[in-house]
Amino acid sequence: MEVSAVSWNPETSDDVRRIVVGVDGSACSLLAVAWAAGEARARGARLELLYVIEPGSRHYLDPGEPDPAVVVATAAGRLAATGVRAHAHVTTGEAVEQLTHRSEHADLLVLGATGMAPHHGILHGTVTQACVHTASCPVVVVPFPHQPSHPHRAETVAPAGRHEAALAGGGVR
């Protein structure tokens, strides 16, 4: 499959009405929520938080794992406290398939570069990598902040400060 660059300027693209964010409870996915919240606020767009439980995942196997419904509801509640309304959804299935399906009706898909299993290289997580190739809309990949122990980590794709204000006063954790 060939990947082509899409000319999209976040400063001038006002036609973003629906933003879908993949959430898995990882720190990187919650950074993606914060970035998307800033975009939703700036554009008056609808923000959807989507948590996909894959068959056989630890959420089926380990009752000690955080409840996905609580994860997205907590994130949505924290966003609401900052004035950003988010719709929280939990579904089951293959993550790539579900995110790709949601991208068909979205203007922007936002994903964290890594998920629940930390990745110490410079490549994106497998779900993110696949969605970059299969999504029907532009995809924003929000990297985890640079850590001194991982010098090859990519820089943040969002302008610093602009989107952080969306979650002032506690933020999504």
Residue 158 has φ and ψ, to the nearest 5°, of -95, 140
* Per-chain mean pLDDT for the chain: 75
Q: Which long-range contacts (CB under 8 A, 24 or more apart) does 119-123 make?
A: 120/150, 121/152, 122/152, 122/153, 122/154
For the chain, the structural domain boundaries read 18-167
Taking only the tens place, the pLDDT of each residue in 40-56 is 999 999 999 999 998 87
pLDDT score, position 79: 94
Q: How many angstroms separate the CA atoms of 171 and 32, rounded? A: 12
Residue pLDDT, tens place only, 133-170 = 999 999 999 987 765 544 433 333 333 333 333 333 33
Could you tell me how far CA 27 lies from the centroid of its own chain? 10
Backbone angles phi, psi at 68, to 5 degrees: -55, -35
Fold for domain 18-167? Rossmann fold (3.40.50)
Percent of the chain whose pLDDT exceeds 70: 66
Q: How far is the CA of 37 from the CAs of 84, 98, 123, in angstroms?
A: 7, 21, 24
Question: Residue 80's pLDDT is what?
Answer: 93
